[in-house]
Amino acid sequence: MNISLKNEFKVLFIIGLIILIISMFLDWYYIQVYDSRGKLIAFWSYNPFTEWTTVSSGGSGYKKISHPKDLLIPLVINAMFIPVVVVCGYCVLFKDIEKKIELEKLQRYAYINLFLVLINCYYIFAFPIFYLFPNHLYFPFITIKDADLNVVYHYSIGPGYFLQVISFIMIFPYAIFYYQTIEKFKTKQHSIKKVIDRYIQTVQESMDLDKLITEEANIIKKSRKKAIS
């Protein structure tokens, strides 16, 4: 791969990690409730790390009506997210594959990079499919009027989710490049090792053959000496 392109991937990866961290502090989903006059009477925002929060100044009755169910995203996913981002940041800054002779020692970092991509994909795809849709939370946005209550619901994804999508585009190329480079190195090393092993085996067989010929020649010489004597 072109070095300049690889460096561009690396810079994008670093920016992607920063964006991932920022997304943790932003809202991922919004539910807004308006009355018939267009006044905001309830507002709910969701973040996987803080769950649902509200800053509504409307009446408690409207809050109760619009209060969404807890999405119950596994805590272990959120708990792993921050450490994995930190380790990937350490990897891209201090474990560059161009500066390391023994690339096989970096294999665990390649897997961690891929694991971050998987967590990122989980948030991007599992969040709407397994948590929003089953709870009747619309994706990516929709406006629904409730004629019985005479209110309007507005559902929409927030900037935190958008940043997750953007970060995926940025971290994916370098993570794949890092992994493929190490895998190719391992394959090449195994191939070279096989060639060397075959060569050594051939040389040993040749040496053994020469040894046998020498021994046989010595035996013949001894036999001739005995015959002459």
103-131: pLDDT as tens digits: 667 888 899 999 999 999 999 999 999 99
User: Could you tell me which of 108, 49, 109 has the C-alpha nearest to residue 79?
Assistant: 49
Q: What is the pLDDT of residue 195?
A: 46
Instruction: Using the predicted structure, report yes or no on whether residue 97 has a pLDDT greater than 80.
Output: no
Residues 6+ apart with CB under 8 A from 103: 97, 181, 182, 185, 186
What's the rounded Cα separation, in Å, for the pair 164 and 143? 24
pLDDT tens for each residue of 50-72: 889 887 555 555 555 557 888 88
CATH architecture, range 3-187? Up-down Bundle (1.20)
**Higher-confidence position of 200 and 164:** 164
Q: How high is the pLDDT of residue 181?
A: 84
Q: What percent of the chain has pLDDT over 70?
A: 71
Domain residue limits, the chain: 3-187
Give dist(CA 43, CA 63) in Å, integer. 8
| C-alpha distance from residue 5 to each of 10, 170, 186 (Å) | 9, 13, 23
Average the pLDDT over 132-146 and give the result: 90
Closest CA to 181 of 84, 92, 107: 107
pTM: 0.75
Q: How many angstroms separate the CA atoms of 73 and 97, rounded?
A: 35
Rg (CA), the chain: 33
d(CA 50, CA 140): 20
- Sheet strand arrangement including 40-47: 51-54, 40-47, 29-34, 151-157, 141-146
Instruction: Specify the higher pLDDT residue, 5 or 82.
Output: 82
Q: Rounded mean pLDDT of the chain?
A: 81
pLDDT at 198 over 60: no
Q: Please give the DSSP secondary-structure letter assigned to residue 8.
A: H
Is residue 10 helix, strand or coil?
Answer: helix
- pLDDT band of residue 15 (cuts 50, 70, 90) is very high
Is the pLDDT assigned to residue 216 strictly greater than 80?
no
Task: Please say if the pLDDT value at position 37 is more than 90.
Answer: no
